[in-house]
Structure 1
Amino acid sequence: MAIRNPRLPLVPGYGRNTLIGKKSFGVRPIFTTINKINMLVDKPPDSDRVPSLYARKQGPELPAWVTYDKQILRFRGYFKQSYNELISHVLRKVDICFFLEDGTIKVSEPKTENSGLRQGTLITRQRIRLPHSYDMYYDVLDFNIGREVTFHGKVFKILSCDNFTRVFLNRLGINVPDPIPWPDAVEKEPPTYRPPKPTPLKQFLEHDREILRFFGYWDNRETYFGKIHHLEIHYYLADDTIEILEQLPPNSGVESGPMFLKRMHLPRNIPRPEMSGGPKPESYTPADLSIGAVLNVYGRNVVLTDCDAFTKEYYRATYGFDTFNPLPNPEEKVEYISSRLADRELPPWNGYGSYEDSAENCRTVEPKAPHRDFIKFLHKDRDGFDSHVLRFASRLINDNPEDAKRYFIVLYYLCDDTIAVFELGERNSGFLGGRFFRRAKVYLPGVNFYVPKEPPSYTDKDMWVGNELVIHKHCFRLIAADEYALRYMELHANEYLMSNIALIMDKIRRALVSEENGYKNFVAKYMEAVEPNKKELMTNRCFKQAMKEIMCDKLTEHEFLTIIRHFRGDPGKEESPRREMLRSLIFSDLTRALWDDRDRLKEGIVHADEMGLGTLPALRLRQLLRAHRLPINDDLMDCMFSVLRKDDNCNIYTEDLLNFLDFQTRPVFNMSDVDYNKLVRHAPPIRDKECKFWTEQEKIIQEGFVNWNAFLCQLNLEHVVKPD
């Protein structure tokens, strides 16, 4: 290949070919040692760097990429970036890093928030040639404070360096000047042609989402069908625009919407059409707005009467206003015509369908379903175990002695005020039982049904023990209630007066105070009836006789039941007769089926109780009893679960279940037919499977006790007793 001098022209004869006469063109590698490192090298090329700064045999023994590994000379400077806008140029700070190991250079700009410039690495790490040179590159000697270096056409001014760079250059014998102060960041030149245009960006950034809110009115009563328009004025500080909205009352009939003036620059005066091309008309500013000011909104005078708290604070801080007294709005006397239609008079009920269905068909031509009280349905519908159904035991009252023995359950549904009646059939009675009256609304007896308005019906206030209900010409007397109904009525005592213990005690208190020495004689007479061995407890029979004596017929059965439940006394834990009756009944069924698998049942219970808690859920116990073929039906099993002991989570104690079924060490007594009827016949028709005991109130009245001392303390009539 011919090597030519770049200063000579490229013509034949000016170059020489070094390959003429050469016969061997192979590469002859040689082994040599460079800086005590064995290397396989070719003929070393000519050096393209400056001569060494060290004398012969005084330089470092290791190569540069080992000696100067991770050593960087860092300089700080700037370069100018020109603009063809309001400013001529901008000075941008840079960091110039020179890597000693290979002579590469990297230029980066520190990042500044909201600068609007692409910052970071401006020139990636590389070797940079000197200007107007093909084979010379920047080296250590080219960098110093005060010098200017040119990288790819950009001139960088070096102002300072770090401490390592200063020490390194000083050791090389290079004098490093003091740091140069930073020049002005922006050099502005005064405009020579015209002043700069105002830019609204600053105002927008400072006052974005800041709105002055005024209230006012426009009186338009001078025109025909005119009225007072109540307005709301919004002044946007970000761009000095105004928006006006009208405050419309509900059902005003205005179809155009509340927009009175769209957001715009509101001029002080109406601009003339022929004055086009001239200066822009003056618009309203915040200084023109105040309470009592009148705005000219294209010929409509809008009076400002009040403003909000933010507007008051803005004028107080900006203009120094302290008084913000609102102005009264003018009174508008308008005679309105009532738009409410009179209640439509419906025709009398024809006997078909329900009252709601017939009334809805009379109101509209298209048949629609009757509207129900949805709010009441949401509050009184079944919610988990809270059924919102009041269950009462009842008897049929008539002259037929056979009907007097029949037993009924009356269910009152609180969600829609409907009543359902079910009959509990007894053995060999001739009555099958089941649904007696379907669920429907029951109206009071003696009302006229064929009237336009719906007649009154039974409500939940009519459901109390001792009351008589006439349901489809059948008279039912409520004789008992289940625990849920009594508990629900006691929790809502403000709605059910028969379960309000405060009102009942006031009634008894008034009866005792009305007679002379009534309270003293009452206490003296019945103090002897207190059980001596049972801690001031009185039997329910004796307490009921005392209540009848002082109240006569003023106390209902439900009120008496409420008193007994409230002042219930506990004479001690005794075995419930109901539990023994159940054990006798289950023993008869097990003996009849020849079941004797209690040991295997015990093993199954121990295996099911993995945690060893001694309790199991009722559903799991039911599965175990069915798996071990316990010969009792679901009703009797539910009755057995109701008398077994339970923990706080309603889990049944397995030991109590095994003791209940232990008929060898715990014998049972024979149950008579009368006891059987008392136990089995009072099962409500809940899914026709559950068995509940509806004689709890009778047992409480016959066998329970009343805390006589607590009853007298709540009466609180000791002050009426005259001392002897």
Structure 2
Amino acid sequence: MSIRNPRLPLLPGYGTNPMIGKKSFGVRPIFTTIGNVNMLIDKQEGGNRVPSLYCRKQAPDLPTWIMYDKHILRFQAFFQQTLHENRSGSHILRKVNILFYLEDGTIKVMEPKTENSGLTQGTLISRQRIRLPYSYDLYYDVLDLNIGLEVSFHGKVFKIVNCDNFTRVFLNRLGVNVPDPIPYPDAIERTPDTRKPPKHRPFKQFLDFDRQVLRFYGYWDDRDSEFGTLHNLEIHYFLADDTIEIKETVAPNSGSETGPMFLKRMRLPRKIPPKIEMTGGPLVASYSPADLSIGAVLNVFGRKVVLTDCDPFTKEYYRVTYGFDTFTKLPIPQDDSKECVSSNMADRQLPPWNGYGSYDDSAENCRTVEPKAIHRDFIKFLNKDRVGFDSHVLRFSARLISDNPDDSRRYFIIKYFLCDDTIGVFELGERNSGFLGGKFFRRNKMYLPDVNFFVPKEPPAYTDKDMWVGNELVVNKHRFRLIAADEYALRYMELNAEQYPMANIALIMDKIRRTLASQENGYKNFVAKYMEAVESDKKDLMSVRCFKQALKEIMCEKMTEHEFLTLIRFFRGDPGKDKLPRREMVRSLVFSELTRGLWDDRDRLREGLMHADATGSGVLSVERLRQLLRAHRLPMSTDLMDCMLSVLLKDEKCNIHYEDMMDFLDFKTRPVFNLTEADYEKVVRHAPPVKDTECKLWGEAEMEIRSGFVNWSAFLCQLNLEHLVKEQS
């Protein structure tokens, strides 16, 4: 197939049409083998030009679409666009990015978008292979692009001025020298105009400074006038058209009825123009950015506005444009009138509380005539409300301090609710004692004794810091002594030891350490006297009774009962064996929940399990078994259900034998014991008691603590006072 010479005119007799008589116009594929891979090429071997698929004289072993995937050469270039009927210049310079894709030799030309340019920017030439000028079978290659070269894409000439680091390294490895970057020429070649000075062109200013606003903060002091006040202002200077807008910052509940706009957007004149000049004549000089600075005073139609501060963008603008480096914020004068009003509002006192109802309810009725609900601490309620087994209720057992022997034998349970700081008192009535059990004092906020109730401010009340074993509470003229606490209360206070000093083992040990260090030969005599009390058969263990007696001798009245309890719990030295197996403890919990929920449908549950076990293997997966238990509406929480499934019999694939679960839920074989508070901690995290009547089992836990042992060696190691023995000896 012959190709016409492009230098000859397209006239009859100067060439022949090779397409005449041809019926098939398909492209003949040309294949070759390169590196044991059959590749399609655009020219036979032995031609004058190397295809752009590979680097010159370096054919890779892999195909180019794998070897050079996502490898792009990036060049920066520009071209000039002629401007017609424009007196400001003859042409405009447009910057572009030329992308050369090594995998297939395609080229893409993109122009970065410039805001308010008025031009259609983005992709100028889509990705394609571009032919060389005056050629029909040759395309631009990687060797045709370099800094300083001019390339012609579809009749548009581009001048390459720079490239990225990857492109420079790639061309250098090919042996191509890459020159240094070339600076861009002037963006617009302006024609000189010497006949008259250049005019102010608002449109160019708008394009250059659109959306750029200088923000200042200031005030206008109007306190000299009657009913005047101090106005806090925010000044906006628009660089696009040299206009100023002033807004007033009105504080909430300030009583001001004026609008927030102090001055609408306009050119602010430096001086108030006379009425004659308002109708015509030259423009009045207005404020410019050079007139604005921190400490400057603006004349806003007779009002003196003082600038005190500005935002970061304004500081950067003045730093670049005018070279300012110091921006010291000026103080704003205090408004005495507002201080007077605010102080009067703060000193407002409510009428004395008459003692009827709660203080919050009475105070709310005094603040407004319309009855409203009491505003409680909702954030505290969310954090301290019941979450799973965390009840956030501290339970203590108490005795009534009274001269009457019958009253001294009465047993009470005091609950402190952390969500709203209220206290509830319940009595556990014994049989034939003459006292009915139940609610003794309803849940309410309990105030400290010997305080004046008939005062405007709320009297102080009991807090969670007052709840510790050994303390005395006076509730409605009844004096209670806290004698014990449940496992949840003790554990909660130990976990939050920074809030409860009585449960902080570090503070307690520091108190003992300071007491022993202050006595002469105190630590030496203390260790020598009670070393013989250590059990001979149980190494390093001392009985709780002896340990408590030793501490009382050195501490006297400096240590409370709760601190003794914290030490005993921390240095407990009993052998590590559980009183109850875990399976039976979980079974007791499940039995209590199912009995409370009145659930006894084992036959229907067995039928559902056998229907789910289609193969009759006798086992089901944990997920399937949990789904069946939920379908049969077993009244138990998700945590308790997971505890039950964890103690059931499983096979080697961790599937559960459901017959073992049916024996676990057999109500005919009732658990032989009830769980105490100490047993709950072994099963689930911080489990509260199921009922208040179960608190009578606290006596067993108290006896266990009294009959236990303390690790004496660990206690002495924690004291860390061996250096006193050397100094005193």
Q: State the TM-score, normalizing by the size of structure 2.
A: 0.60
Q: 1:189 to 1:334 in 2, by over 3 A?
A: closer
CA displacement at 1:413 relative to structure 2: 0.6
CA displacement at 1:454 relative to structure 2: 4.6
Which residue of the other structure, out of 620, 623, 643, is the alignment partner of 1:618? 643
Q: Counterpart in 1 of 2:242?
A: 240
Q: Counterpart in 1 of 2:271?
A: 269
Pair 1:282-2:293 in alignment: no
Q: Counterpart in 1 of 2:257?
A: 255
Letter in 1 for 2:643: A
Q: 1:422 to 1:116 in 2, by over 3 A?
A: same
Identity among equivalent positions (%) equals: 56
Which residue of the other structure, out of 707, 714, 721, is the alignment partner of 2:718? 714
Q: Counterpart in 2 of 1:344?
A: 349
Q: 1:384 to 1:81 in 2, by over 3 A?
A: same
Pair 1:66-2:25 in alignment: yes
Q: 1:224 to 1:63 in 2, by over 3 A?
A: same
Which residue of the other structure, out of 625, 630, 634, is the alignment partner of 2:667? 630
CA displacement at 1:379 relative to structure 2: 3.4
Q: Counterpart in 1 of 2:389?
A: 385
Whole-Å Cα distance in 1 between the matches of residues 231 and 465 of structure 2? Answer: 52
Q: Counterpart in 2 of 1:517?
A: 521
Look up the SS of the partner of 2:533 in the other structure. coil
Q: Counterpart in 1 of 2:446?
A: 442
Pair 1:552-2:556 in alignment: yes
Quick check: 2:294–2:329 contact (8 Å CA) kept in 1?
Answer: yes
Which residue of the other structure, out of 677, 698, 701, is the alignment partner of 2:702? 698
Q: 1:244 to 1:219 in 2, by over 3 A?
A: same
Look up the SS of the partner of 1:164 in the other structure. coil
Q: Counterpart in 1 of 2:569?
A: 565
Whole-Å Cα distance in 1 between the matches of residues 118 and 335 of structure 2? Answer: 62
Q: 1:550 to 1:362 in 2, by over 3 A?
A: same
CA displacement at 1:543 relative to structure 2: 0.4
Name the Cα RMSD after superposition. 5.6
CA displacement at 1:718 relative to structure 2: 3.3
Q: Counterpart in 2 of 1:203?
A: 205
Q: How does 1:539-688 map to 2 (within 5 A)?
A: 539-570=543-574, 572-574=575-577, 576=579, 607-608=619-620, 617-620=642-645, 624=661, 628-631=665-668, 636=673, 642=679, 686-687=690-691
Write the deviation string for residues 465-523 of structure 1: whole angstroms up to 9, x where unpaired.
12333444544432211122112222333432322333333443444345433322221
Pair 1:477-2:489 in alignment: no
Letter in 1 for 2:463: T
Write the deviation string for residues 504-548 of structure 1: whole angstroms up to 9, x where unpaired.
334434443454333222211101111234332211111012122
Q: 1:162 to 1:695 in 2, by over 3 A?
A: farther
Whole-Å Cα distance in 1 between the matches of residues 718 and 256 of structure 2? Answer: 64
CA displacement at 1:265 relative to structure 2: 1.4
Q: 1:514 to 1:281 in 2, by over 3 A?
A: closer
Q: How does 1:208-219 map to 2 (within 5 A)?
A: 208-216=210-218, 218=220
Q: 1:241 to 1:164 in 2, by over 3 A?
A: same
Quick check: 1:424–1:684 contact (8 Å CA) kept in 2?
Answer: no
Write the deviation string for residues 675-709 of structure 1: whole angstroms up to 9, x where unpaired.
xxxxxxxx997456878952465244323222212
Q: Counterpart in 2 of 1:361?
A: 365
Q: 1:352 to 1:202 in 2, by over 3 A?
A: same
Letter in 1 for 2:522: G
Look up the SS of the partner of 1:365 in the other structure. coil
Whole-Å Cα distance in 2 between the matches of residues 303 and 643 of structure 1? Answer: 69
Letter in 2 for 1:629: D
CA displacement at 1:418 relative to structure 2: 1.6
Quick check: 2:353–2:359 contact (8 Å CA) kept in 1?
Answer: no
Q: Counterpart in 2 of 1:297?
A: 300
CA displacement at 1:222 relative to structure 2: 6.0
Larger Rg, first or second structure (1 or 2): 1
Pair 1:463-2:467 in alignment: yes
Bigger drift between 505-514 and 458-467 goes to: 505-514
Whole-Å Cα distance in 2 between the matches of residues 370 and 302 of structure 1? Answer: 45
Pair 1:408-2:420 in alignment: no
Pair 1:317-2:329 in alignment: no
Q: 1:296 to 1:449 in 2, by over 3 A?
A: closer
Which residue of the other structure, out of 491, 506, 509, is the alignment partner of 1:505? 509
Which residue of the other structure, out of 529, 536, 551, is the alignment partner of 2:533? 529
Look up the SS of the partner of 1:412 in the other structure. strand
* Count of matched residue positions in the alignment of Structure 1 and Structure 2: 551
CA displacement at 1:560 relative to structure 2: 0.7
Quick check: 1:638–1:691 contact (8 Å CA) kept in 2?
Answer: no
CA displacement at 1:618 relative to structure 2: 3.1
Letter in 2 for 1:162: Y
CA displacement at 1:417 relative to structure 2: 1.9
Q: Counterpart in 2 of 1:139?
A: none
Q: 1:609 to 1:540 in 2, by over 3 A?
A: farther
List runs of 5+ in structure 2 lacking aligned partners. Answer: 1-9, 30-41, 43-80, 93-108, 125-131, 140-153, 159-186, 590-605, 626-639, 649-657
CA displacement at 1:404 relative to structure 2: 5.4
Q: 1:69 to 1:215 in 2, by over 3 A?
A: same
Quick check: 1:639–1:692 contact (8 Å CA) kept in 2?
Answer: no
Look up the SS of the partner of 2:509 in the other structure. helix
Q: Counterpart in 2 of 1:162?
A: 134
Q: 1:201 to 1:245 in 2, by over 3 A?
A: same
Q: Counterpart in 1 of 2:424?
A: 420
Q: 1:211 to 1:436 in 2, by over 3 A?
A: same
